Amino acid sequence: MRDPQRSGWATRPFAVILGTNEIASAVAVHLHRGGHAVVMSHDQISPVIRRKMSFHDALFDDLAILEDVSARRADSGIEILSELARAEGVVVTTLGLLDLIVLRTIDVLVDARMQKYQETSDLRRLARFTIGLGPGFSAGDNCEFAIETRPAKAGRIIRRGPTDRGDGQVRRLGHHGAERFIYSAERGRWHTAVEIGTRIFKDFVTGHLDGTPIRAPFDGALRGVVRDGTEVPAGVKLLEIDPRRRRASWTGIESRASNIAKAVAKAVSINQMNAALEARHTPYLVK
């Protein structure tokens, strides 16, 4: 194995992204392209449904590629260092933040778990620069920069103060809003044999939660679904149906995720410029 300290890994900025969902994955693509060594830490609370739009399935050794950027699974610190030394893509892991901090000082920490109704931890002091995505984050209070994720404001950078609170509103696809999602009524083991992208019809059985059949509420394409065999808590999304027929989409990076990811990259760039200016003892900081 090559010595990571003699590879490009030692000279590239180290970025950790909390979450493996589609937003987190879009951020990973942009930071990787910006020259960062990127590790994504799996969030065990919220199952990922838009798996063809994310790197999540790399955790199960499936092929995971977004816009020519690939992801590889690593289960230990040594494996992470080895993969980052290859500089060929991003790394996904089940290791938590406390396990990743010991690898090296984290230059950029992005919380992309989208846990909008849960208590938000203070990210500051855990990395040189911290960014929080969506409700629950407040720039200057629990992160350095915060970024709006609501569809109408997705990608707006907040330098001081909180992002908008979660309002429970769901953007519409075609003629459907919140009803295109099916949630778990209780905790249980989810099983499905239906692949993302499959054309389905009203009342079609999409899977079973602890033996209870879960039926499609209307016709459409399966845009996202929790991976087969996953133990899920109550009240989380099990699947999403796209009703737009020929315009239905379930792969790649969608526009909202792209806007958020570009905002993260811009925030990182602003921080880097300000750090460089401060190092030169100049008062002219980037606004």
Q: What is the CATH number of the domain that holds 182?
A: 2.40.50.100
0.85 surpassed by pTM: yes
Is 268 among the domain residues?
A: yes
pLDDT digits (tens, 9 = 90+) for 11-68: 899 999 999 999 999 999 999 999 999 999 999 888 999 999 999 999 999 999 999 9
- Report the alpha-carbon distance of residue 56 to residue 43 in Å, rounded: 10
Q: For residue 5, is pLDDT > 90?
A: no
* Domain containing residue 239: 178-243
What is the predicted pLDDT for the residue at 139? 96
On whether the CB atoms of residues 46 and 113 are closer than 8 A, the answer is: yes
Q: Which stretch of 103-107, 118-122, 149-153, 162-166 has the lowest confidence by average pLDDT?
A: 118-122
Residue 183 CB contacts under 8 Å (≥ 6 apart), including other chains: 235, 236, 237, 238
- Report the alpha-carbon distance of residue 118 to residue 121 in Å, rounded: 9
On whether the CB atoms of residues 69 and 90 are closer than 8 A, the answer is: yes
Q: Please tell me whether residues 128 and 32 are part of one structural domain.
A: yes
Residue 26: both structure tokens together: 């879009």
Greater confidence (70 vs 88) lies with 70
**Mean pLDDT, residues 115-142 taken together:** 89
Q: Please tell me whether residues 127 and 226 are part of one structural domain.
A: no
Q: Please tell me whether residues 120 and 159 are part of one structural domain.
A: yes
Q: Please tell me whether residues 54 and 154 are part of one structural domain.
A: yes
Q: For residue 6, is pLDDT > 80?
A: no
